[in-house]
């Protein structure tokens, strides 16, 4: 028998700008109102919980907060040229140049700001947070990042 809980949308969202790269090209700068969907599967505790909804929502909300109203920078991009200059990020792709104050940017250790990679990044952070909260019964974590209604990237982490 398998049990899981899900939390999604409502307060679990963030609005952010980005440009993903693909096949040697780079999207124009744009943004999304991202919705976040999280599924946690695990054994039931003695009290018949997989995980307390409130705790899970708290964790996800806290992790999304630094992304909200920021530009998401794929710090480990192999395609973009990214440099730091004091309080600014300097980002270049071909003839395009962007200089952004660091306060407006959330730089993540990912190679591309696709919904799939954002889901993976969040999945790994949730795993650490649940472990930190002592949740030893969790067997898998799935995160969906919905860029637009009906368009989402997913990642599942099996523990």
Measured between alpha carbons, how far is 124 from 117 in angstroms, rounded to an integer?
11
Residue 64 designated active-site: no
* 69 a catalytic residue: yes
CA distance 99 to 89: 6
Residue tagged active-site, from 39, 120, 146, 147? 147
CA distances from 148 to 2, 14, 31 (A): 30, 12, 10
To the query of whether residue 120 is one of the catalytic residues in this protein, the response is no
Q: Of 27, 69, 84, 90, which residue is the catalytic one?
A: 69
Task: Cite the active site residues.
Answer: 26, 69, 147
């Amino acid at each position: 028998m398998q049990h899981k809980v899900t939390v999604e949308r409502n307060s679990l969202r963030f609005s952010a700008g980005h440009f993903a790269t693909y096949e040697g090209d780079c999207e124009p700068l744009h943004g999304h109102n991202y919705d976040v969907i999280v599924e946690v599967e695990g054994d039931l505790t003695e009290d018949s919980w997989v995980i307390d909804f409130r705790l899970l929502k708290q964790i996800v909300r806290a992790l999304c907060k630094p992304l909200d109203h920021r530009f998401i920078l794929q710090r480990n991009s192999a395609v973009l040229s990214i440099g730091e200059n004091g309080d600014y990020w300097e980002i270049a792709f071909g003839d395009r140049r962007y200089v952004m104050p660091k306060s407006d940017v959330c730089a993540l250790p990912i190679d591309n700001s696709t919904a799939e990679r954002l889901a993976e990044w969040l999945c790994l952070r949730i795993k650490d947070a649940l472990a930190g909260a002592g949740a030893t019964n969790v067997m898998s974590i799935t995160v969906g990042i919905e860029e637009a209604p009906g368009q989402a990237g997913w990642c599942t982490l099996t523990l």
